[in-house]
Chain A
């Protein structure tokens, strides 16, 4: 029967299926011999027959996949032998795996699910009741001296079961049972580690990607664990692989790239942790809420003792020495929400280090998109750190750092190829200038009297913000420079917000020249009116910008009156 494996390697190019057919003929022959001998009804023989049926099934599946004919049905026979658990467990699992694949090929994923889940149950039952490494199916046809050691048996057995979990992960993903799918991915990764069945780089990459799933669920402890494990395992890459691995890792030459990618996953970790903390701490105008801060700090103290318990529930990676390294890695960054500037800064610094690491590989020359994404993350890290900073001047300086990193990139970027990124940068730069201007106004309000330096500063920040908003709006124009009648869904909100912010900015410009002020008010009114008119014409847009719309309506009502007053004042001077 080993013939089938041997034969398939020797397949002539022209007739790739010939060996399969001959293997099938051979297997059928043996099966007939066995069936004849089976009359006695001995259990071992029944199992042997089942092994052959399974082999036949495998051949048939191979043919099915190649020929796209679905004439063969995989024999489910072996599964009926379930009572003889210790004898046939080793067969049931691959049979169920194969049935799972087969049914999924027929788009009946639920049927596949039942087979795979039953394999999972059988495995658990067997491990509870027996637990000894079971005989490998191929051993039924081997001479006594060829048989495997217990270690080898166990390895093969566990590997087959790992495949079951891997298929279940896919089944759950196809069935949109995302949480379960993630759990099975996690377990598959864990088992790969335990049974040394992994390529370090690929494993690390998978674990790092899984961490991003946990981020989307705000499970920071799990995310950190995946990332720490990814970093630890990655550092094994290129070192001496375990003895039996004769295959080289497929993509050794990509090591720097993979390393940078893991760094990028870490950046996202730091960013998400900070952003989530911000969400917890902010009040309704987006400022740090000190009451909330005290409350959360008290709460955290209470929870600290319970934390250890929660920790044990999570599935941890690795055996003792790997585990130690992972824990050491984890200690370098917190997984709880930072509650004040000091804590936020520590996470920020870790993120910033990974930014440098990622940039080493993703340089702007050759990796424009990746490089810019990293810079954008860096800017986002500063932005969220600024939230925790109480001193307005220092906060303003943080935003200036963002401007300094984004502006030069934007200036070089060719919108012909990077239109989307250009728009993102335009909006981000505009928003940052806008925020800086707001901070300067706040600082100015504390002064007795606005000095001319502050006024100049405020006006120039406002002008820059306007400039970038206008650049963004211009990018929406069609080749004939006409602004679109109806905005596409993906740019609707940013475009409306840009219009709204420009309107506000014109309102904030400080000037002693009343005529100029009147002009600014007029411009402001035009932008507010645009918003109101647009929403009247396309009511779908209202939901996207409710608050902005409300304020705009108010301004459209108020502005003409104040302009009238100003005009009256003006004419009285003349």
Chain B
């Protein structure tokens, strides 16, 4: 269906805080959830209504977030599509809670576990079911990698000794992180083990190297490869599932949320640092003329190029904090989410028939 190609956008509203701050009544909140796909922002002078594919209010459980957001994507991943799930929002809006679950537990049976552990379970559940159905004719291979992008540098969270990896492209494999550790997975528990190790490394790195996790993007990628033998013809399908915890939206320099602001020149720095960006913007309106722009996309957009307007099923979970103090950030998150809906994706089954082995 045509509709299925657009990026799906989900909004989740977290409870204001652990303390019952509801004493202020609705005054303390800057938005209200009207239905399962509309949200009203109490902006002045007119309140603003936003419509999304799905809006989760404060009472929505982790289970139902998973089943409305991720289930579908994991299923299509089994069918050979690439899939990506992003969590977006300002720091403290509940991205990590949504994706991982409560931060203090490594226990992935926890009832509040997030989208990522649930995706693992579901993925391996589907794999087992497929295997049973197909018997020996079909086999699966799952691998995963876990990287962090901080300050336009790539770190491997599965190999804390490595630093500064590079993005490269391969004519058959697309974009990949050169030298990133790939770990083979055989069960959901193992996947979760790898994830938590990586997560811990992220925390260690953030304290020892002065990295702030709220300023870095973490990308967990699972490659699912299935091989099916059918009359001497081997059908290989492979697909990627990217689970992305984006940096806090409030500090993202590279999103175009900054409005009209001028970029300042440092006092000592001679480079008038964004002159290049200004010029790039001038060239952008180049009316269909051939041109080359010397400034590349950010690492993150390059890595996830296929997920943004490419060849994948993608959804974005925009997390918002309902407190009225967060009004500005919430508005910009909702605006971002609205824009994201306009991106269209074309999903194509990744089938590569390698004929005739005999």
Interface size on A, residues (CB 8 A): 70
A163 at the interface (CB under 8 A from B): yes
Q: Give 1 or 0 for each of A183-216: 1 = CB within 8 Å of chain B CB.
A: 0010011001000011100100110111011011
B260 at the interface (CB under 8 A from A): yes
B293 touches A212 (CB 8 A): yes
B interface bracket (residues with beta carbon within 8 Å of A): 35 or more
With a CB–CB cut-off of 8 A, which chain A residues contact B281? 173
Q: Which of A210, A366, A416: most chain B Cβ within 10 A?
A: A416
A489 and chain B: residue at smallest CB distance = B344
With a CB–CB cut-off of 8 A, which chain A residues contact B349? 479
Q: How far is the CA of A173 from the CA of B293 in the complex (A)?
A: 17
A73 at the interface (CB under 8 A from B): no
A197 touches B286 (CB 8 A): no
A170-B294 contact, Cβ under 8 Å, with A182-B282, A368-B170: no
The one of B263, B271, B283 that contacts A216, using a Cβ cutoff of 8 Å = B283
With a CB–CB cut-off of 8 A, which chain A residues contact B293? 209, 212
B283 touches A417 (CB 8 A): no
The one of B174, B278, B292 that contacts A170, using a Cβ cutoff of 8 Å = B278
Q: Give 1 or 0 for each of A147-167: 1 = CB within 8 Å of chain B CB.
A: 000000000000000110011
A173 touches B306 (CB 8 A): no
B285 and chain A: residue at smallest CB distance = A178
The one of B173, B265, B290 that contacts A272, using a Cβ cutoff of 8 Å = B290
A498 at the interface (CB under 8 A from B): no
B291 at the interface (CB under 8 A from A): yes
The one of B168, B174, B259 that contacts A416, using a Cβ cutoff of 8 Å = B174
Q: How far is the CA of A272 from the CA of B261 in the complex (A)?
A: 34
Q: Give 1 or 0 for each of B168-204: 1 = CB within 8 Å of chain A CB.
A: 1111111100100000000000000000000000000
The one of A109, A189, A205 that contacts B294, using a Cβ cutoff of 8 Å = A205
Q: How far is the CA of A419 from the CA of B349 in the complex (A)?
A: 12
B267 and chain A: residue at smallest CB distance = A5
B292 touches A188 (CB 8 A): no
With a CB–CB cut-off of 8 A, which chain A residues contact B261? 104-105, 107
A101-B271 contact, Cβ under 8 Å, with A213-B282, A215-B291, A268-B290: no
A271 touches B290 (CB 8 A): yes
A412 at the interface (CB under 8 A from B): yes
Q: Give B1-41 interface residues, CB cut-off 8 Å to A.
A: 2
With a CB–CB cut-off of 8 A, which chain A residues contact B357? none
Chain B interface: which of A259-267, A389-397, A508-516, A563-571?
A: A259-267
With a CB–CB cut-off of 8 A, which chain A residues contact B285? 178, 216
With a CB–CB cut-off of 8 A, which chain A residues contact B265? 163, 166
**Separation in Å of the A144 CB from the closest CB of chain B?**
25
Q: Give B258-279 interface residues, CB cut-off 8 Å to A.
A: 259-265, 270-272, 274-276, 278-279
A479 touches B348 (CB 8 A): yes
With a CB–CB cut-off of 8 A, which chain B residues contact A174? 260, 262
User: Closest 5 interchain pairs by CB?
Assistant: A417-B174, A216-B286, A368-B169, A212-B291, A197-B270
What are 14 A-B interface contacts by the 8 Å CB criterion?
A: A105-B262, A162-B272, A169-B275, A170-B262, A192-B270, A212-B283, A213-B286, A258-B294, A264-B292, A368-B171, A380-B290, A412-B172, A413-B171, A416-B311
Q: Which residues of A contact B (CB under 8 A)?
A: 100-101, 104-105, 107, 109, 112, 162-163, 166-167, 169-171, 173-174, 178, 181-182, 185, 188-189, 192, 197-199, 202, 205-206, 208-210, 212-213, 215-216, 247, 250, 258, 261-262, 264-265, 267-268, 271-272, 275, 364-369, 377, 380, 409, 412-420, 479, 484, 486, 488
